[in-house]
Amino acid sequence: MSQFMTLLDQIYPALDNGQYERALQLCQHPEVSRFSLGKALMSYTYSCLRNPAKALEIARAVASTQPNEDSVVSTLGCTFKAVRADKDFADLYENAMKKKNLDESYVKDLFNCYCRQNDPKKMQFVAQKLHKASPDRHNFLFWSVCCMLLQPDLPPTMMLLAEKMAHKIIYDLAPLLQPSAEELSLYTYILTKQGKLTQAYDSLVQLSNRPAGSPLVDEAHFTANPNFVKMLNLQVSIHKMDLLIRMGHLGDVIQEGKNVLITFPDQWNVHEVITDCTLLLSVAATAVTDALLTQEKLTFPMQELSTLLKEVLPCVDSILCTDAKRISLLREHAEAHQAYLKTLQGQHPKLRGPYLAELYLLCGWMSIIDEGNKKSSESGSVVQKDAMVALVSELKQLICAYATRFHTKQCCFSDLKVYIHKLSSFAHLVPGIVETLQDWAREQRSLANQRLFAALQAEVSVKQQSGVKQDSSSDAAAAAAAAAAAAAAAAPTLALVADEDEEDLDEEKQEKVSSESATTSQATPAAGTGKKKRNKKKKKATSTAATSANTLTNSAKAAAAVGEYTEILLTLCGFCKFDQIVCYCDTLLHHVSTTNTSYICADTEKEMMTLRTSLYGATREIFGKGVSGEERNIQPGDELLLQNSAKLRRRLIADRKKSSDSSNSNSNSNNISNSAVEQYVTALHWASVVEQGIQASPYSFALKIDELEPFRALAMGEAASALYIEMNPRHIQHDSMGYLILPTLLESAFFSEASKEMRSVLGFHTGARRDSLDMMGKAFQYGNYMRALELSRFVAECQKSTQLLLCKAEIPLLEIATKHSTASSALRYLTDLMDNKLPESMELLDEDQLAGMIDHMDFDLVVRTDQVGEEQMKEMKLLMRSQMTHRLQLAQRRTRILLCALEKDSSEAMTHLVAVEALESNPPAPASCATHYWPWDQSIGSGVAEVRRALRCVTSDAIRFTVMSIGTNTTALTAPPSSSSSSSSNGSATSLASRPAGFTSVNEVTNGSIKAVTSLFALRAALSQSTLYLDKNASSEIIVSPDWLRSVTAFVRTVGMELPLLLQVAASMLSLSAFQKRSPAATVEEITERVGAMKIENADSGVGVLARHIEAVAESLLGIFEYLHPILVGVAGKLESVTPVEYSSALNALSNTTTTTTSSSENCTAQKGMNLDSAVGSGSASDYEEARLVLERANNDAKLKETTVTSTTVNNANKPSRSVTCPDQLHRLVAVQMASSHKETCTRLAALMQQRMDSLRASLNW
């Protein structure tokens, strides 16, 4: 025993120091391994060595003896937790608790284990045991109460018991002190769930007014006493307003909300709800009563109080009365509330909340009057119409005032977008109101343009002066700077807010920049070794200080530059915001004719795009390293290129529509229309424009999201995958953003990358469930009961994620396509899948489960000016959900067809095949969704229409024939054909499926094989007639049609993957000797004639007959593979050898342009002197281009001088690419990405086809 203790004293230090190999040797010592503790330590050591199987084997062997020693139990518990064997952990502690009373820490560990298992009933049992062991600890009683609420379908008697338990603690055991914030919320929540709203409100008021008690001292004090955390006043008010809304006491809601706004005047959810209550109370025909909605359906408390109001009072229209008296009362209340908001605006002029609340008030006011006009028989009354006209005009003025005041805020346009859309809905009352707003915004944009150009021209003058007279006195430089400042002062100014407000804004910006500069100066040593740290109190950088490059790092210089060019930065922000308003008004005015390119391609629009690009290039020479030189998602001027991106998106949608119309009207599919080429040219230009911004602003999230769209249009799977990886999505972003990339990967044959992304979604949900349940245990430990309830809801909702279920359905098909080319390998995988042994295992979902899916996709990643409004967004969400549901159902059914066929259960396979045919015949949307954005089209049914139709026929004919061949009894084929079998051979697909899935006569086999062969040859013809190269008339064809690539990928991903496996199974049921040597390549007529002439007397048996027909189908399928494979190999080789210059030149020749939509110098020169906004003064694209060239030369000279002085290299991490100023290089960069992506797609498709051909030939002994 003494030796055991000696060795034990060596094992623990070895484990603590990470010496696991030594610890394992010590545990394996005979004097240690014969004891239970030694074996337990050995199991834990194996878990540290990442050998979970061995660790679990030893731990279970020890646990089977039901030990009760604390050391053994705790060690085994550590092992089970490390290998995540929660059931074993629970069994271990349960057995130990039966033999002795464990310490509280062990019981808490068991409670946490039940949390990880999500078993509220067992959690409640352990909580009650803890309370009985420590009756003076009231928190364990609250644990028990919360565990009761976690249980689904809790009966009313249990809810009443929970109320009594909580009441006993709060009113009997601790009657003097205020409960903790979580205890008070939990008690109020219990009362609310039972519909006891008045009691809940009274208790909340009474308990929140109790003395708070002793404050918390430190973290240790909080850990020991989590109930010392009391509810904040804002939380109390939110709880009160929530209950008052549920009770229908809207007047009290308004009063409570105004009390909140005294302290928090920018609290937006309060502004929303008191505005809604004010308007609703004015026109309510009857008193609003409580309990209008079952309280169990709502969470408590809801932070979105306005949403709660709409859910609690769903029948608002039925209680509205819009007679003259009510309209007058509405006006009175609305004007009073507007006056109240004006007071808040005067008290807090820099806060956005009161100004937005006024806009929200006017929109709600007008909506009620407009609704009343529609319902009332006096809808044409002059009084109401005049009131509406006045309100519409006032709304327009408020929008202008808000944009004027807050145009320097990044969120300015997103704030106003909903109100501008609302303004457009009332345009029938005030004709031309949207045009008036657009003209105003255009004028402000013009003023900003002139002011911005004057500021840039001033900087250009300084640079030119310093370049000409580098050795002149400082007086000359000062005179040049003064002249430049005078030029800037003479430029027109924007209609800004009061001067003092603008000065305050500038001062805040300067202080922020100065602090950032000082912080960077302090934290970053100077370039080179041995340099002393800079002085922390260095003054703000000026144009003179900026030349001292040896004392500033890159980031500090960038911060100094922003401080120096604050005026340029703020004016640039204003230009972008007014430009966004102008473009959004364009969308509202022309959204009905979205597919009309005449407006989108107008000369003024082209010139404006050129101006934005030139302005972007000029300002990037100043803000080239961004604000503070740090990695930021948004850099100054990014909105300029985003606006161009929105215009090109609309143009691409229009081109797609024209291409679809042209293809439908053109019967000869061998000729590609000009409109079809135009859409790819537009997509290429679009990608070049966005790539310009990414090169200059490499951390811009919005630009990268926009570039994914043209990449999908051009079938650039490789480039899209690399860009998505560069975005570095993490955790929940895989679930919320996966819809942006998965269709592109699936359409471009990047199946491995698609499977990896889908597994990332699965990994997130697995980890989220595990981590959330772990956090639930910690929430109980710290008394955070409402968070425990929230985590439980989150876990339940995550398992219903649309993206998660879709990934689980599609991963098996991708795994089979890439890793299982033989029937035996595919069968092993699918068997494990159906036995729930794989993470992607999932049962077949029924209609109720599909309807209960929850969408977690984030559609608000970018605020776009080419989206009309919420109505369009809702329609697109519904469309996308239906498309994803359709894909999910197809994937699940196709997987089960394969499994059943591989298991030779043709009857069940036929049932799933009939379901697939029904799904394919009823798609959720037309094949050409011309009015929707590319990433939002989740159908992945793109490609040539004829190929899509042919694929559906192959599913109905070839796959059906193969499945029925698997279920055929070959001995029955030798029987004489009966009249019933002969007549049924021409029956419908449904009649075949209703009978046993197998052929019963030679005639049925013959008819089935002829249909299968015909459909396969029709598919081959559709693929051969599809346009392979877009530049067909060129001397060397190198530009592959994206639609052709998508068509071939769709074939390989579906029929090309499934049919070879099914043919292998059908062939495996016959002997290899039954198959003959493959015939030379034949036409469809020859094959059908051969199989049609096949008689039973011409074959040795039914096996021979079936073998000949299977050979015919296999020969037809191999004919498609053998036709496509050399084409794909040849295309890949051609794209491998082509140079970037050649490919770019071919693209230019195809589009018959030199990238006119980008910022080329030729385009700028051609537009020189043109004034877009008819404003007086300079500021055209050519002017900005000239300014950019001067600034670029000056920056290059400064960098060269800096390199000479400091003898160090400049850090190029944040340096803008030279290609930013050279559109030809940008165009060539995208061209290289396109050629590489298409080459990779062809290579992958050829490799997959080769695998299928080899396995199919082997199965037929060919």
pLDDT of residue 160: 92
Distance CA 644, CA 1157 (A): 9
Which of the two residues, 650 and 836, has the higher pLDDT score?
A: 836
Please tell me what DSSP assigns to residue 974.
G
Question: For the segment 1148-1193, what is each residue's pLDDT rounded down to a tens digit?
Answer: 887 764 343 333 333 333 333 334 443 334 567 777 777 777 676 6
What number is the average pLDDT over the span 864-891? 84
254-303, pLDDT tens digit by residue? 999 999 999 999 999 999 999 999 988 877 655 455 444 444 456 778 77
Q: Select from 319, 248, 234 the least CA-distant residue to 277.
A: 248
Least confident among 54-58, 500-504, 655-659, 849-853: 500-504
The band of 601, judged by pLDDT with boundaries at 50, 70 and 90, is low
What mean pLDDT do residues 566-578 have? 89
pLDDT in tens, 1000-1019: 877 888 888 888 889 999 99
> Looking at residue 765, what is its pLDDT?
92
C-alpha to C-alpha distances, 675 to 602, 929, 931, 1153, nearest whole angstrom: 17, 16, 16, 15
Query: Which residues sit opposite 1040 in a β-bridge?
Result: 1029
- Which residue type does 778 have? K
Q: What is the pLDDT of residue 761?
A: 94
Do 238 and 273 form a contact (C-beta atoms < 8 A)? no
Q: Token match 């449904």: residue?
A: 990
What does DSSP assign to residue 922?
A: S
Residue 185 has pLDDT above 50, yes or no: yes
**Hey, what amino acid is at 1199?**
K
Q: Tell me, what's the pLDDT at 4?
A: 79
Question: Is pLDDT at 1222 greater than 90 in this prediction?
Answer: no
Q: pLDDT digits over 327-366, tens only?
A: 788 889 999 999 999 999 999 999 999 999 999 999 998 8
Confidence of residue 497 (pLDDT cuts 50, 70, 90): very low
pLDDT attached to residue 455: 84
- pLDDT for 865 equals 77
Task: Decide which of 516 and 301 is more confident.
Answer: 301
Quote the CA–CA distance of 674 and 819 in Å, as a whole number: 40
Tell me which of 1103 and 1256 has the higher pLDDT.
Answer: 1256
Phi, psi for 1071 (deg, rounded to 5)? -75, 150
Check residue 515 and give its pLDDT: 41
User: CA dist 49 to 55, 62, 273, Å?
Assistant: 9, 19, 57
Closest CA to 755 of 834, 829, 691: 829
**1230 contacts 687 by C-beta, under 8 angstroms:** yes
Is the peptide bond between 924 and the residue preceding it cis, with omega within 30 degrees of 0? no
pLDDT interval class at 203 (50, 70, 90)? very high
497 touches 405 (CB < 8 A): yes
| pLDDT tier at 1239, thresholds 50, 70, 90 | very high
Q: Hunting for tokens 């008191």 — which residue is that?
A: 274
Q: How confident is residue 483, by pLDDT bands cut at 50, 70 and 90?
A: very low
DSSP notation for 63-120: HTT----HHHHHHHHHHHHHTT-HHHHHHHHHHHHHHS---HHHHHHHHHHHHHHT-H
Q: How far apart, in whole angstroms, are the C-alpha atoms of residue 742 and residue 901?
A: 28
Q: Which two tokens stand for residue 320?
A: 């509205």
Average pLDDT taken over every residue of the chain: 78
Number of continuous H segments (helices) and E segments (strands) in the chain:
55, 0
Give the separation between CA 937 and CA 786, rounded to whole angstroms. Answer: 39
Q: What is the mean pLDDT of residues 794-816?
A: 93
Residue 977 CB burial class (10 angstroms; 0-12, 13-18, ≥19): middle
Q: In this model, does residue 48 exceed pLDDT 80?
A: yes
DSSP per-residue letters across 988-999: -HHHHHHS-SS-
Q: What is the pLDDT of residues 422-464, one digit of tens each?
A: 999 888 888 899 999 999 999 999 999 888 888 888 877 777 7
**Structure tokens of 1004?**
């049925």
User: Can you give the pLDDT at residue 504?
Assistant: 44
Residue type, 274: I
- From 78, 82, 83, select the one nearest 93 (Cα to Cα): 78
Q: How confident is residue 808, by pLDDT bands cut at 50, 70 and 90?
A: very high
**Which of 814, 813, 809, 812 shows the shortest CA–CA distance to 850?**
809
Work out the angle between the directed axes of helices 353-375 and 268-283 (0-180°, nearest 10). Answer: 30
pLDDT at 544 over 50: no
**pLDDT reading at 1123 higher than 50:** yes
Q: Which amino acid is located at 449 in the chain?
A: N
- pTM, two decimals, is 0.83
Helices (H), ranges, 967-1101: 979-984, 989-994, 1002-1025, 1042-1053, 1055-1068, 1084-1092
Confidence of residue 802 (pLDDT cuts 50, 70, 90): very high
Place 536 in a pLDDT band, splitting at 50, 70 and 90. Answer: very low
The answer to whether residues 612 and 548 touch, using CB atoms and an 8 Å cutoff, is no
Give, in order, the Cα–Cα distances in Å from 103 to each of 44, 115, 133, 1236. 21, 19, 10, 65
Share of the chain above pLDDT 70, in %: 74
* Cα atoms found within 13 Å of the Cα of residue 821, Cβ hemisphere only: 16
- Pick 493 or 1094 by higher pLDDT: 1094
pLDDT of residue 895 exceeding 90, the answer is yes
**Which of 282-296, 443-457, 793-807, 909-923 has the weakest average pLDDT?**
282-296
Mean pLDDT, range 844-854, rounded to an integer: 91
The string over 680-689, giving b where at least 16 C-beta atoms fall within 10 Å of a residue's C-beta and e elsewhere, is bbbbbbbbbb
pLDDT for 103-138, tens place per residue?
788 888 889 999 999 999 999 999 998 888 888 788
More reliable by pLDDT, 1097 or 968? 968
Compare 415 and 376 and report the one with higher pLDDT: 415
Q: Given this model, what pLDDT does residue 535 score? A: 39
